[in-house]
Chain A
Amino acid sequence: MIRVEGLSVVYARGTPLQKHALTRVSLTIRSGEFVSVIGSNGAGKSTLLGAVAGDVTPTAGRIEIDGRDVTRWSAAHRAGLVARVFQDPLAGSCGELTIEENLALAAARGTARGLRRALTAARRNLFRERLADLGLGLEMRLGDRMALLSGGQRQALALVMATIAPCSVLLLDEHTAALDPGMAEYVIELTRRVIGEQRLTALMVTHSMRQALDCGTRTVMLHEGEVVLDVEGTERAGLTVDALVDRFRRVRGQTIDDDELLME
């Protein structure tokens, strides 16, 4: 469960470039909910995700994960609760390390790291099993350097890494935006499956209205740092992309000229 209360984030406060990225946003995401977050560039989507992950320091407000106030926790401290997949396929893993080393790093997420061997036979078996699920043949390449993989393969692996250790919340930051359409489709399918199988609480930022409606159980739209739409259940099931755009216009009382928002 994530509870965000009165969250405000101001960048470059007190300078001419001051920007209100989020303004008193309150949002409660129940356990097992899969929320897609949409909005145009600069709407505050990534800031919201960053604040939950601990990368962005809020100017005001509080953030709770599973009933614990994590507002002042560092990103590393939150890692026991929060798993993440980044937009940039290169950001989520170490290219210089091997596939199995990356997985071992992820398998120890949120635990104290001692002098035990990072790679054991038991772990390698677990990795092979999880990689075989992907159907990409990566289970045969445990010792390959991560840098040898394609962007799509790295994102698929990032998903495995995010879910190989227990987490309370999975954060996906436009994690298919950098992939070609075929691979993006594959990663989205995988995302759905993993979240469904493990009944994860997930927050997914996306640029695509279609993806936002196709995935998850609830859709939140941000605009200029505020929540302008929050739909779930039957109301959401009946929504089409056109209707969503329409709703957005009505809420804001303005026309949308951001092409990216209308994509797909």
Chain B
Amino acid sequence: MSAIAFFGALELGLVYAFVGLGVFLAFRVLDFPDLTVDGSLPLGAGVAAVAILASIDPWIATLMAAVAGSCAGLVTATLNQRFRILHLLASILTMIALFSVNLRIMGRPNVAILNQATIVTPFYDLGLQSYIVRPLFLAVLVAAGVILIGLFLTSEFGLAMRATGANPRMARAQGINTGFQVYVGMALSNALVAVAGALFAQTNGFADVTAGVGTIVIGLAAVIIGQTLFRFGGIWVALIGCVVGSIVYRVAIQFALAADFLGLKASDLNLVTAVLVALALILPRLRRGGLAA
């Protein structure tokens, strides 16, 4: 694997670290299996791309993507909390709807922003190679994201959110409005995923309506790999695990695709991902002493 390919994998891993963090919030903190993310990733990419094409400041465009993502999360939360639709189904409905919404927003399946100024543009003047600038810049953003989310989850409100997912009955007995917590958590989770989409569009120069397929599995892969690598520790370790997991996943995929003896093609990516996630789920169980029926 070449250095450029490695930094490319690192860059993608850092972009998807936001997906990992978002999926961590929904799946692990709230215990809400949320497939909305398959729609909110291209939503974030599309909103950011269209906004940037309309000469809106790229930072504001990224913020707009986050707001759009949080709206998607709120729709799923409303379907689930207000109308009592099963969480998985509620999120699939939003995801399907978002495909049409994204096409409306973008106007066409693919929007290129190759020659536009993005949030990364100013940093290309630092004198470093662009393939190094991007992961460096993203690493700073991800670090800021981890710190903010960590502070949130160790606050009174964030702790209440963790209790909501871990033991809702206990949470209510402690005076926590669990419904409200789900709304906020889902909004936050999907905002993070939409930010990943916005970053993807800006670092790759395009937004594509099909870019979201399998987002949830990639996010889960990050969470699970992180959890496997860092088996002990509190919430901060878990958050850092999501980031490391996302990077490890991308680098591992890159290795697998680059290894000629495996004979894999780029189109095998989804299969490799599924096998990787399945392995990450099975391995800890094997280690714990065999597969009980």
Interface residues of A (CB under 8 A from B): 53, 74-80, 84, 86, 91-98, 101, 104-106, 108-111, 113-119, 143
Contact = CB atoms under 8 A, between A and B. Distances in A.
A197 B200 CA distance: 60
6 contacts: A53-B173, A79-B173, A91-B170, A92-B170, A104-B159, A115-B155
Contacts of A108: 156, 160, 174-175
A13 B291 CA distance: 45
B173 A94 contact: no
A113 B170 contact: no
A113 B162 contact: no
B141 interface: no
Specify the main secondary structure of chain B where it touches its partner.
Answer: helix
Given A93-B170, A94-B163, A94-B167, A114 B178 contact: no
A116 B156 contact: yes
Nearest to B175: A79
B104 interface: no
A53 B156 CA distance: 23
What 8 A-B pairs are tightest by C-beta distance, nearest first?
A79-B175, A94-B166, A113-B156, A118-B159, A115-B155, A76-B172, A75-B172, A94-B167
Contacts of A76: 171-172, 175-178
A76 to B, nearest CB: 5
Nearest to B181: A113
Given A93-B170, A97-B166, A116 B160 contact: no
Interface of B: 151-152, 154-160, 162-163, 166-167, 169-178, 234
B154 to A, nearest CB: 6
Contact of A96 (B158, B166, B171, B175): B166
A133 B261 CA distance: 65
B167 A91 contact: yes
Contact of B163 (A86, A97, A119): A97
A113 B160 contact: yes
Contacts of B167: 91, 93-95
B172 A79 contact: yes
Contact of B162 (A97, A115, A116): A97
A18 B177 CA distance: 30
Q: Which of B151, B152, B159 has the most chain A CB atoms inside 10 A of its CB?
A: B159
Nearest to A53: B173
A116 B155 contact: yes
A144 to B, nearest CB: 11
B154 A113 contact: no
